[in-house]
C-alpha cells in the first residue's frame, strides 16, 4: 500500500528543496503494533529486562550507572582501522594510544555483547566471504580467538539476549546467531534493503528498524518471529545511516548523509513526520547520558571515501523540542563518524574517518582533542559504558 507521508522543506547544502510526495511502505505481514507512550510499563518482548522508566528508556544508562557486569573492565577506547586491520587502544585518561593488535580483514565496528562481558570486533572482509568476529576481553584489553562469520558488517543483540544479529550487508540478510558461540541459528532475507546497516529497537523490544543505505529505505523487523513487517521509502534520494529512538519510545531519528540531516519517523505508524537539517554528511547518533540531548555527527562529505579536513561537525539536538541547540565544528576540518559517549557523559568520542584521527569532544563546551591513529578509523567504542545490557553497535545501552 502507498500512503501520503510527508510534506515540508529540508536543507541540503545551500539549496532549499520542497518535497511533496509519497513514501511507500510494503506491508509484508499484519499491521505492526503501536508503541505505548504513557507512564505504564509496556508489555515487552518475553525475556527482555523490564522498562524501568517508560518516559526515558535510556534512564538505566545514565552517567556512571555501571553494572556489576563491567567491574574490573579497563577504561579504554577501542578503534577499528578498516585499512590496516588493526584495533588501536586509547587510554581516555591520558588521550594516548597505549597499544594495538591485529584482527580480521576490514574491521568495521567494536560491539559490546548483550551481557557486557565481551567486545566483538566485526571484521566483514569487504568483497569476500571470509569475515570474522574477534572477541576482546575488557578486563585485559586483549583479543581472543576469532570466529569465522560471513560478512559481519555490524552486529546487534535481541533485547532478550537470546540472539546476536549479524548484519550481513552485502547479502541483504540478518543472521541470528548464538550470542556466545556465534553459531548460526537462522537467517532472515531482506531483499528490499540493499546496504542493510544500522538499527534500533522499539521500547517494547518487539520490533526493530534497520536502515538500508543504498536504497534510501528502512525495513521493520518482527524480533520474536524473525520476519519482515514492511519497508519504508524515505522521501528523498538519500543514504540513511544511523538510527536512534527517542527516550519515550515514540519516535525514531534517522541520520542521512546525502540530505544533511535527520528524518523523523513515527514509531507507531512507521511514517515519516519531519526532517531536521544538521550538517554535511549526517552520520552517527548518540544520546546524552541524561537522555535529554542527541549528539549528531556530520562527517563533512557525501562520499563514502571522502577527503581530509572536510566541514565536519557535531550537531546537538534537544530531544524535547527537536531543535538544534548547538553546533560544534571540528577545528580546521575533520570527519567525525562513529563512536559513543563516555561513562560520565562528559565526553563524546568519535572516529575521524578520513583524517587518521580520533576526536574527544567536551560535551559542555564542544572543545575538541585529537588523537592520531591509523588510516581509516571507523566504529569505535568507549568502554565501560553504563547500562544493564547492550543492544549492540558501538554501545546502544539500556
**What confidence category does residue 305 fall into, taking pLDDT thresholds of 50, 70 and 90?**
confident
Whether the CA torsion 27, 30, 35, 41 is positive or negative: it is negative
Instruction: Indicate if the pLDDT at residue 130 is higher than 80.
Output: yes
Instruction: Indicate if the pLDDT at residue 40 is higher than 90.
Output: no
Note the CATH number of domain 2-28+57-383: 2.130.10.10
**What confidence category does residue 266 fall into, taking pLDDT thresholds of 50, 70 and 90?**
very high
Q: How many CB atoms neighbour CB 17 within 10 A? A: 11
Q: Closest Cα partner for 33 from 220, 218, 293, 253?
A: 220
Model pLDDT for residues 166-175, shown as the tens digit of each residue: 999 999 999 9
Region 25-30: mean pLDDT is: 38
**What confidence category does residue 41 fall into, taking pLDDT thresholds of 50, 70 and 90?**
low
Rounded CA separation 28/23 (Å): 16
Quick one: pLDDT at residue 230?
98
Instruction: Indicate if the pLDDT at residue 33 is higher than 50.
Output: no
Dig out the grid coordinates for 205 from the structure. Answer: 523490544
Quick one: pLDDT at residue 202?
98
- Which one-letter DSSP state was computed for residue 45? P
Model pLDDT for residues 216-262, shown as the tens digit of each residue: 999 999 999 999 999 999 998 899 999 999 999 999 999 999 999 99
Quick one: pLDDT at residue 42?
74
Quick one: pLDDT at residue 127?
82
Query: Which of residues 35 and 125 earns the better pLDDT score?
Result: 125
Rounded CA separation 182/131 (Å): 13
Dig out the grid coordinates for 317 from the structure. Answer: 539536538
Region 331-345: mean pLDDT is: 98
Dig out the grid coordinates for 352 from the structure. Answer: 575521524
Average pLDDT along the chain:
91
Instruction: Indicate if the pLDDT at residue 23 is higher than 80.
Output: no
CA-based diameter of the chain, in Å?
A: 55
Region 137-147: mean pLDDT is: 98
With residues binned 3-state (H G I as helix, E B as strand, rest as coil), the percentages for the chain, rounded to 5, are 0, 50, 50
- Domains of the chain, by residue range, sit at 2-28+57-383
**What confidence category does residue 39 fall into, taking pLDDT thresholds of 50, 70 and 90?**
low
Q: Which of 26-40, 59-73, 345-359 has the lowest mean pLDDT?
A: 26-40
Quick one: pLDDT at residue 236?
85
Region 346-353: mean pLDDT is: 98
Quick one: pLDDT at residue 128?
87
Dig out the grid coordinates for 119 from the structure. Answer: 567486545
Instruction: Indicate if the pLDDT at residue 9 is higher than 50.
Output: no
Instruction: Indicate if the pLDDT at residue 26 is higher than 70.
Output: no
Model pLDDT for residues 72-126, shown as the tens digit of each residue: 999 999 999 999 999 999 999 999 999 999 999 999 999 999 999 999 999 999 8
Dig out the grid coordinates for 338 from the structure. Answer: 562513529
Quick one: pLDDT at residue 36?
37
Model pLDDT for residues 380-390, shown as the tens digit of each residue: 999 999 999 99
Amino acid at each position: 500500500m502507498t500512503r501520503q507521508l510527508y510534506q515540508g522543506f529540508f536543507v541540503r547544502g545551500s539549496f532549499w528543496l520542497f518535497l511533496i510526495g509519497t513514501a511507500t511502505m510494503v506491508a509484508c505481514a499484519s499491521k505492526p503494533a503501536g508503541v505505548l507512550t504513557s507512564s505504564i510499563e509496556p508489555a515487552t518482548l518475553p525475556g527482555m529486562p523490564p522498562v524501568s522508566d517508560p518516559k526515558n528508556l535510556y534512564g538505566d544508562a545514565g552517567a556512571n550507572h555501571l553494572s556489576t557486569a563491567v567491574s574490573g573492565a579497563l577504561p579504554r577506547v577501542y578503534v577499528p582501522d578498516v585499512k590496516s586491520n588493526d584495533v588501536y587502544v586509547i587510554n581516555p585518561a591520558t588521550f594516548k594510544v597505549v597499544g594495538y593488535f591485529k584482527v580480521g580483514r576490514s574491521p568495521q565496528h567494536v560491539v559490546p555483547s548483550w551481557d557486557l562481558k565481551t567486545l566483538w570486533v566485526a571484521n566483514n572482509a569487504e568483497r569476500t566471504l571470509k569475515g570474522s568476529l574477534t572477541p576482546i576481553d575488557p578486563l585485559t584489553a586483549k583479543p581472543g580467538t576469532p570466529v569465522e562469520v560471513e560478512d559481519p558488517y555490524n552486529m546487534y543483540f535481541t533485547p532478550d539476549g537470546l540472539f546476536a544479529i549479524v548484519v550481513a550487508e552485502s547479502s541483504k540478510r540478518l543472521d541470528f546467531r548464538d550470542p556466545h558461540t556465534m553459531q548460526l541459528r537462522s537467517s532472515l532475507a531482506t531483499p528490499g534493503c540493499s546496504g542493510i546497516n544500522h538499527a534500533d529497537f522499539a521500547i517494547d523490544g518487539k520490533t526493530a528498524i534497520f536502515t538500508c543505505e543504498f536504497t534510501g529505505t528502512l525495513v521493520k523487523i518482527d524480533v520474536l518471529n524473525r520476519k519482515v513487517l514492511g519497508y519504508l521509502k524515505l522521501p528523498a534520494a538519500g543514504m540513511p545511516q544511523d538510527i536512534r529512538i527517542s527516550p519515550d519510545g515514540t519516535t525514531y531519528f534517522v541520520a542521512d548523509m546525502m540530505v544533511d540531516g535527520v528524518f523523523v519517523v513515527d514509531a507507531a505508524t512507521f511514517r515519516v513526520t519531519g526532517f531536521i537539517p544538521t550538517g554535511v554528511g549526517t552520520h552517527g547518533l548518540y544520546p546524552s547520558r541524561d537522555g535529554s540531548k542527541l549528539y549528531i555527527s556530520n562527517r563533512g562529505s557525501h562520499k563514502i571515501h571522502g577527503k581530509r579536513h572536510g566541514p565536519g561537525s557535531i550537531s546537538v539536538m534537544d530531544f524535547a523540542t527537536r531543535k538544534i541547540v548547538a553546533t560544534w565544528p571540528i577545528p580546521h576540518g575533520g570527519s567525525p563518524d562513529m563512536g559513543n559517549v563516555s561513562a560520565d557523559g562528559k565526553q563524546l568520542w568519535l572516529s575521524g574517518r578520513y583524517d587518521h584521527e580520533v576526536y574527544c569532544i567536551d560535551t559542555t563546551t564542544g572543545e575538541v582533542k585529537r588523537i592520531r591513529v591509523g588510516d581509516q578509523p571507523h566504529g569505535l567504542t568507549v568502554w565501560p559504558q553504563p547500562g544493564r545490557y547492550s543492544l549492540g553497535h558501538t554501545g546502544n545501552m539500556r
